[in-house]
Amino acid sequence: EFRRFSLERSKPGKFEEFYGLLQHVHKIPNVDVLVGYTDIHGDLLPINNDDNYHKAVSTANPLLRIFIQRKEDADYSAFGTDTMTRKKNVLSNVLRADNHKKKPHIVISMPQDFRPVSSIIDVDILPETHRRVRLYKYGTDKPLGFYIRDGSSVRVTPHGLEKVPGIFISRLVPGGLAQSTGLLAVNDEVLEVNGIEVSGKSLDQVTDMMIANSRNLIITVRPANQRNNVVRNSRTSGSSGQSTESSLPSSTPNILANSLQGEEESDEEDIIIEDNGEPQQIPKAAPTSESLESLTQMELLHESTQNGFLPSSEMNLNHSTGSISMEYEVQDADHKSLEEDGTIITL
Amino acid sequence: MRRFLRPGHDPVRERLKRDLFQFNKTVEHGFPHQPSALGYSPFLHLMAIGTRSGAIKLYGAPGVEFMGLHEENNTVMQIHFIPDQCQLVTLLDDNSLHLWSLRQQSGASELREEHRFTLKGPPGSPPSATQITAVLPHSSREVLYLGTESGSIFVVELPSFRVREDRTITSEAVLQRLPEDSCNRRSCELVEALQEHPKNPDQILIGYSRGLIVLWDLQSSKATHHFLGSQQLENLYWQRDGSKFVSCHSDGSYTQWPVSSDNRQPEPLESLVPYGPFPCKAISKIYWQTTRNGLPYIIFQGGMPRASYGDRHSITVIHGSQQTAFDFTSRVIDFFITFSSEPAAEFEDPSALVVLAEEELVVIDLRTAGWPAVQPPYLASLHCSAITCSHHVSNIPLKLWERIISAGSKQNVHYSRMPWPIDGGTNVAPDPPQRDLLLTGHEDGTVRFWDASGVCLHLLYKLSTVRVFLTDADPNDNMNALGEDEWPPLRKVGTFDPYSDDPRLGIQKIYLCKYSGYLAVAGTAGQVLVMELNDEDAEHVVDHAEADLLQDQEGYRWKGHEKLKTRDGPVRFEAGFQPFVLIQCQPPAVVTSLALHSEWKLAAFGTSHGFGLFDHQQKRLVFVKCTLHPSDQLALEGPLSRVKSLKKSLRQSFRRIRRSRVSSRKRRGVSGNASEVQEANAKFDQDALQEMELAPVQRKIEARSAEDSFTGFVRTLYFADTFLRDSSRHCPSLWAGTNGGTVHAFCLRVPPAERRMDEPVRAEQAKEIQLMHRAPVVGILVLDGRGTPLPEPLEVAHDLSKSPDMQGSHQLLVVSEEQLKVFTLPKVSSKLKLKLTALEGCRVRKVTVANFGSCKTDDYSENNLAVLTNLGDIQIISLPLLKLQIRYPCIRKEDVSGIASCVFTKYGQGFYLISPSEFERFSLSTKWLVEPRCVVGAPEATSTNHVHSKSGLGSAARRS
């Protein structure tokens, strides 16, 4: 079914409100749906948070076409770059489900349906030869799965080239988290652990640091293979908004702020059982500070970037229009070809 | 979180920190590791000990000690005091000579190295030409005579070490006027001994290894006498009047030679093989001491019959018809005789024999009949049985102190009452501020109580737990019982006995309540003994309780050692701490934590399986709690599990290799057999090293999980009277922390005193906290409303502490190996934390609350945490805000046993083992500092007696 309604472009409100509005308009208050829209390139892109919602509203020209799919029937493969142009008409594709069976797609599920297991962070503040990888360890389901060793690396110093001791990844356990991300490899040199430089530290010390941070491990490496480095063409596109060309040591405070905040998030989970009752998480006695919250936002921003849902192109915003009309569609397609096989694509 | 990263820059606080904290390593207690040389100054009454690592230590009256370290870290081969001077010369195994002086500076003497010197021969000469074998400091104090391997004797001036080539005594000069038949160059091969004539400083006696002895006149540069010994020479000793001397030889004989002006080539007066007629081992050193009554003391080292007693380390004393061969527990390094007479007296009148063996110092009183041993006030052999744990108790009440001393004195009746014979110097350090006890647990099931108040670590009392158990060793087996006609007349002396009858007897945990005199001691085989101090001998039955820590966990089999068998019926205990109840943990795994609350009369104990609470008033087990994770097979099976032991033995063997590499580097320059062994060792080391390089060390990075082994291992137990359930009523509680990051809290109901015997103690689990980082919990502490740690049991009752603040809300501090966390109570919410491992890569090994007083004002002090990490750093962390105050590097991080042995005191001091036999004492406090401060008197050629009269007073004052 199609519905058309208007929205205040200058005050789009929050995604939650918009989602509620959609449910209300379609009279499906208790149905989980996926919301998508077509951007100016004709790509079908999701709307699932404030940011991409705002983006969608601000780029509407002037009509914003919204697609709604019931979540359990959702065709995730419909999203992504070139989806609209490739398929010419996403609508026909979506409506004629049998078309779809011919091509098995790599399935990309929605961010809220899975949790990140790894990400590359701080691309904008690190030298291009370095890579900062964050591994998310939840519970005990998957081992981190790597080994480190002592070694030596060559550094450029004021006195010329010098051989200095370093810590290297020596082995990846097949099926482990480290291997499955593809972001770490044998012989990568470990430079930092959660923002702390490892130079001058012993193998045992670095081991202890990594294990202590294992629930939210951020390792900065110099990959042994330098061919797959991220090439930056625009510094301003960085998610954290930093465009300083700072070298590694001077950027450490910023790194610390990020990584520590992450830590704070993830490991304040001690559990208490009172009088043989149910285990509960131990609450914090002191309220969280404001700055932490803002950092949390930044972190979310990171993740969405990494998963490729945020369009990177700069848009001309049309501020003149007071209201936008929208087109939308609720999908009732009945294909169940989806499975969450956990394949994760990262940059 | 970020605020912990930046150290505070509050100038007021920074100034206060300077008044509170200061790091010093103050003194080494115990017996030097690997001693290699001994020296004694009869003038200063000071003894010097050199070690293989290049340290020299000087000891005089109790409290008088000095330490020096040679930069080279080479073995000290010989030590010689310069006669009548505060100076000494050391010879190292790299053939270097070092001159040390005791200089007074701002009221105390200091030991300093003044000069170093290596004897150089003419260009092209072999190294043996200048390899020093004998050193004689001449009584003129101006020159040193240096005997060498080549047979030449060089003369160097002091203190400049300038070689006087014109005065060199060459072997050619010595051989003049010698009959043709004994005159070949080989007779002068190596200078074995150099001795100055006791009456005539112009004559020196030179002994060559082949047996030739020459009396040399320094004025005329001529040999006046030749003594043609036929046996390989070991050593020489002048008799007091200079009319005779004694030589001792490698065949176990000694020979007396007359010296008179009419016979220039005399025959020996007497030659004896004291332990003949069968082949004997060499007599390596001999003393001939004259006495007023005419009967000399002949004292010599070695000479035992080779076949039957060749392995004994003996020193024989012969005085008239009395003869005893003192049999030492380890190799004799060297010995000397002290005598109380004036240097110029006609007779020596020896008073004591001082023997430095490899593992202990033994002093024999030669004045008292039966020649009893004298108990040394310092240089105690801490390792006479290996130390397995230690426990420090500060500020012991006088009453308990006296009772322990009295119990100890009953054990020491066999010691001589002779005042300590080495009594040089004056102790000018202030009396120790308080009475401190250091308790060491040993592998043989004993607990030793040391007076750790001052510079001299002194044994007060020894407690043995062995009597409670049935052991394989026969109690009637007395090693000292010897028959009448036993020959040689051996007598065992010394206490060093590293061989434990049964490793299960080993002491693992000690807890002493200084107010009540209750002591809890726990061991390797799950035994926990609760004891009480009794001033009399007593015979009684030890009650026995079993604590099944596995409870209803079925299907597990303990593959470790069995529990110790107990003695049935009453057991006789000597005065001192007497056990009245034995709690046996089942399975009998090592007791890993122990706590005692003497006010509530409760003892808590934990192993790798769980923990329990015992009411020692009613002698009833209150409860047990199994902490085991079902998958933890390793903990279940015990220490004999194959997987673990293999891993462990591999690790140990690598450690051993590394250690031997270090020590073999130090042990150079030993000739013959030893060097071959070394070569082989070196080769082995190299191979091992290569092997290690082939397989690089790698570490697995894996998050800890609940299934890891030994998560149930109970690391810490703590009693607290706090708000566990609600904020209106506080109650006794027991806290336990495990290796897996779990904290269990039990609410206790202890009946009031009047019904204490009638009603049972009850316990109920109130809380369980699981730290998500799952690191082992090493410390638990409750802070009162003021943020001050709760006082110890009975501390308030004895008016030694303020009552805790029960108005404000209490806080719980949990210290894991990785983080420190503060939670609120009774509702547990996390308040503060300090991460160590995540930020620095270090792990907490030891943690204690210590009170730091300001050195500026008497009325300011504060409680802080003293934390030792696995990197050997000590950090002081404030309470209750957990801010890092200061950090000091203390122990090398490779020194795993040093870190493991560290104990902190309640007033910011600490001890750790620097070798199996030595504790290093350190201080973190500006206020509490125990370090030697002493003066050694300037030379006074006439009398030495009054020099040390004051020090006697000092030591007497300390004991009172």
- Which tens digits make up the pLDDT trace of B356-405? 999 999 999 999 999 999 999 999 999 999 999 999 999 999 999 999 99
Quick one: A70 and A155 in the same domain?
Answer: no
Judged against a pLDDT cut of 70, whether residue A300 lies above it is answered with: no
Quick one: B573 and B452 in the same domain?
Answer: yes
Q: Choose the final residue of a domain: A228, A245, A271.
A: A228
Chain B residues whose beta carbon lies within 8 Å of the beta carbon of residue A143: 702-703
- Domain contains A341: no
Q: What is the pLDDT of residue B162?
A: 92
| Local confidence band at B577 (pLDDT 50, 70, 90 cut-offs) | very high
Q: Poorest-confidence range of A104-108, B16-20, B670-674, B681-685?
A: B670-674
C-alpha to C-alpha distance for B60 and B951, rounded to whole angstroms: 9
**Residue type (1 letter), B394:** S
Quick one: B350 and B404 in the same domain?
Answer: no
Candidate from A214, A282, A286 with C-beta closest to B828: A282
pLDDT, mean of residues B295-305: 94
C-alpha to C-alpha distance for B882 and B868, rounded to whole angstroms: 15
Quick one: B593 and B563 in the same domain?
Answer: yes
As a dihedral over the C-alpha atoms of residue B400, residue B405, residue B410, residue B411, rounded to 10 degrees, the angle is 110
Q: What chain A residue is nearest to B775 in terms of C-alpha separation?
A: A212
Judged against a pLDDT cut of 70, whether residue B7 lies above it is answered with: no
What's the token pair of residue B291?
């006495």
Q: What is the pLDDT of residue B660?
A: 44
Quick one: A149 and A52 in the same domain?
Answer: no
| Residue in B693, B701, B742 to test binding to A, most A beta-carbons within 10 Å | B701
Q: Poorest-confidence range of B179-193, B566-580, B940-954?
A: B940-954
Where in the sequence is the domain holding A50, given as residue range(s)?
A: 1-84+106-114
Chain B residues whose beta carbon lies within 8 Å of the beta carbon of residue A144: 701-703
Q: H/E element holding B954?
A: helix B949-959
Instruction: Please say whether the dihedral angle defined by the alpha carbons of residues B727, B730, B731 and B736, taken in this order, is positive or negative.
Output: positive
Quick one: A5 and A56 in the same domain?
Answer: yes
C-alpha to C-alpha distance for B713 and B777, rounded to whole angstroms: 10
Give the rounded percent of residues in chain B with a pLDDT score beyond 70. Answer: 86
Judged against a pLDDT cut of 70, whether residue A46 lies above it is answered with: yes
Q: What is the pLDDT of residue B655?
A: 52
pLDDT digits (tens, 9 = 90+) for B144-168: 999 999 888 999 998 899 999 888 9
Q: Which of A106-110, A123-127, B495-499, B569-573 has the highest mean pLDDT?
A: B569-573
Q: How far apart are the first and last CA of chain A?
A: 37
Where in the sequence is the domain holding B329, given as residue range(s)?
A: 275-379
Judged against a pLDDT cut of 70, whether residue A296 lies above it is answered with: no
CB atoms within 10 A of CB A232: 12
Q: Choose the final residue of a domain: B628, B660, B675.
A: B628
pLDDT, mean of residues B798-827: 89
Instruction: Identify which has the larger pLDDT, B680 or A222.
Output: A222
C-alpha to C-alpha distance for B359 and A290, rounded to whole angstroms: 64
Q: What chain A residue is nearest to B811 in terms of C-alpha separation?
A: A285
pLDDT, mean of residues B884-888: 94
What contacts B248, CB < 8 A, 6 or more positions away?
Answer: B233, B234, B235, B236, B237, B254, B255, B282, B283, B284, B285, B286, B300, B303
The residue whose two tokens read 């290699």 is B36
Quick one: A5 and A110 in the same domain?
Answer: yes
Quick one: B340 and B373 in the same domain?
Answer: yes
| Alpha-helix residue ranges (DSSP H) falling in B310-459 | 398-411
Judged against a pLDDT cut of 50, whether residue B842 lies above it is answered with: yes
Chain A residues whose beta carbon lies within 8 Å of the beta carbon of residue B737: none
pLDDT, mean of residues B761-777: 92
Q: What is the pLDDT of residue B535?
A: 93
Burial class (CB in 10 A: 0-12, 13-18, 19+), B662: exposed
Q: What is the pLDDT of residue A102?
A: 46
pTM for the whole structure: 0.79
Q: What is the CA radius of gyration of chain A?
A: 23
pLDDT digits (tens, 9 = 90+) for B220-249: 888 888 888 888 999 999 998 889 999 999
Quick one: A50 and A142 in the same domain?
Answer: no
Answer whether A175 touches B (CB < 8 Å): no
Give the rounded percent of residues in chain B with a pLDDT score beyond 90. Answer: 63
C-alpha to C-alpha distance for A337 and A339, rounded to whole angstroms: 7
The residue whose two tokens read 């956990």 is A342
**Residue type (1 letter), A201:** K
Quick one: B439 and B455 in the same domain?
Answer: yes
pLDDT digits (tens, 9 = 90+) for B704-750: 777 776 788 999 999 999 999 888 899 999 999 999 999 999 999 99
Q: What is the pLDDT of residue A239?
A: 41
Quick one: B568 and B586 in the same domain?
Answer: yes
CA of B693 to nearest chain A CA: how many angstroms apart? 11
pLDDT, mean of residues B240-261: 92
> Could you tell me how far CA B505 lies from the centroid of its own chain?
21
Quick one: A10 and A73 in the same domain?
Answer: yes
- Domain contains A47: yes
Quick one: B396 and B331 in the same domain?
Answer: no
Quick one: B861 and B895 in the same domain?
Answer: yes
**Contact across the interface for A283 and B829, Cβ inside 8 Å:** yes
> Could you tell me how far CA B842 lies from the centroid of its own chain?
28
- Domain contains A220: yes
| Local confidence band at A50 (pLDDT 50, 70, 90 cut-offs) | confident
Q: What region, left, alpha or beta, does residue B89 occupy, with left being phi > 0 and alpha being psi -120 to 50 degrees?
A: beta
> Could you tell me how far CA B167 lies from the centroid of its own chain?
45
**Strand A323-331 relative to strand A64-70, pairing:** parallel
Judged against a pLDDT cut of 70, whether residue A69 lies above it is answered with: yes
Quick one: B355 and B462 in the same domain?
Answer: no
pLDDT, mean of residues B832-858: 91
CA of A295 to nearest chain B CA: how many angstroms apart? 14
Instruction: Identify which has the larger pLDDT, B823 or B179.
Output: B823
Quick one: A65 and A149 in the same domain?
Answer: no
| Domains identified in chain A, total number | 2
pLDDT, mean of residues B589-607: 95
Quick one: A110 and A136 in the same domain?
Answer: no
| Local confidence band at B949 (pLDDT 50, 70, 90 cut-offs) | very low
Quick one: A122 and A209 in the same domain?
Answer: yes
Instruction: Identify which has the larger pLDDT, B502 or B662.
Output: B502
pLDDT digits (tens, 9 = 90+) for B105-131: 888 999 999 999 999 877 878 888 889
CA angle B424, B292, B83 (to 5 degrees): 35
- Domain contains B280: yes
Interface of A with B in 20-79 (CB under 8 A): none
Q: Choose the final residue of a domain: A174, A200, A228.
A: A228
Q: Choose the final residue of a domain: A189, A208, A228.
A: A228
Quick one: A53 and A149 in the same domain?
Answer: no
Candidate from A148, A178, A212 with C-beta closest to B838: A212
| Local confidence band at A270 (pLDDT 50, 70, 90 cut-offs) | confident
Candidate from A148, A171, A270 with C-beta closest to B771: A270
Q: What is the pLDDT of residue B614?
A: 97
Q: H/E element holding B838?
A: helix B837-840
Answer whether B692 touches A (CB < 8 Å): no
**Contact across the interface for A285 and B830, Cβ inside 8 Å:** yes
| Domains identified in chain B, total number | 3
- Domain contains A343: no
Judged against a pLDDT cut of 60, whether residue B701 lies above it is answered with: yes
Q: SS in 3 state form for B202-265?
A: CEEEEEECCCEEEEEECCCCEEEEEEECCCCEEEEEECCCCCEEEEEECCCCEEEEECCCCCCC
Judged against a pLDDT cut of 60, whether residue A104 lies above it is answered with: no
Judged against a pLDDT cut of 50, whether residue A244 lies above it is answered with: no
- Domain contains B870: yes
Judged against a pLDDT cut of 70, whether residue A106 lies above it is answered with: no
Q: What is the pLDDT of residue B27?
A: 92
Judged against a pLDDT cut of 90, whether residue B478 lies above it is answered with: no
Q: Choose the final residue of a domain: B576, B608, B628.
A: B628
Q: Poorest-confidence range of B423-437, B465-479, B650-664, B874-888?
A: B650-664
Quick one: B397 and B350 in the same domain?
Answer: no
Quick one: B581 and B512 in the same domain?
Answer: yes
Judged against a pLDDT cut of 60, whether residue B207 lies above it is answered with: yes
**Contact across the interface for A206 and B702, Cβ inside 8 Å:** no
Nearest to B24 by CA among B855, B897, B893: B855
- Domain contains B27: yes
- Domain contains B572: yes
B65 strand-pairing partners: B59
C-alpha to C-alpha distance for B168 and B154, rounded to whole angstroms: 5
CB atoms within 10 A of CB A296: 15
- Domain contains B597: yes
Give the rounded percent of residues in chain A with a pLDDT score beyond 90. Answer: 10
Answer whether B773 touches A (CB < 8 Å): yes
Quick one: A76 and A123 in the same domain?
Answer: no
Q: What is the pLDDT of residue B918?
A: 94
C-alpha to C-alpha distance for A104 and A100, rounded to whole angstroms: 8
Mean pLDDT of chain B: 86
Mean pLDDT of chain A: 67
What contacts B325, CB < 8 A, 6 or more positions away?
Answer: B304, B312, B314, B315, B316, B488, B489, B490, B491
Where are any strands of DSSP class E within B119-220? 132-137, 143-148, 153-157, 191-196, 203-208, 212-217
CA of A315 to nearest chain B CA: how many angstroms apart? 38
pLDDT, mean of residues A145-166: 86
CA of B609 to nearest chain A CA: how many angstroms apart? 20
Candidate from A148, A151, A268 with C-beta closest to B701: A148
Quick one: B890 and B871 in the same domain?
Answer: yes
Candidate from B2, B703, B832 with C-beta closest to A215: B703
Q: How far apart are the first and last CA of chain B?
A: 51
pLDDT digits (tens, 9 = 90+) for B341-362: 676 778 888 999 999 999 999 9
A&B contacts, CB < 8 Å: 143
| CATH number of the domain where residue A21 is located | 3.10.20.90
Judged against a pLDDT cut of 50, whether residue B667 lies above it is answered with: no
- Domain contains B753: no
Chain B residues whose beta carbon lies within 8 Å of the beta carbon of residue A138: none
Judged against a pLDDT cut of 70, whether residue A332 lies above it is answered with: no
Q: What is the pLDDT of residue B802?
A: 82
The residue whose two tokens read 């394989």 is B472
**Contact across the interface for A209 and B697, Cβ inside 8 Å:** no
Q: What is the pLDDT of residue B493?
A: 92
Nearest to A145 by CA among A190, A186, A199: A186
C-alpha to C-alpha distance for B632 and B635, rounded to whole angstroms: 6
Q: What is the pLDDT of residue B282?
A: 95
Quick one: A125 and A221 in the same domain?
Answer: yes
**Contact across the interface for B702 and A279, Cβ inside 8 Å:** no
Judged against a pLDDT cut of 80, whether residue B199 lies above it is answered with: yes
Q: Choose the final residue of a domain: B379, B396, B426.
A: B379
- Domain contains A75: yes
- Domain contains B899: yes
- Domain contains B817: no
C-alpha to C-alpha distance for B189 and B785, rounded to whole angstroms: 81
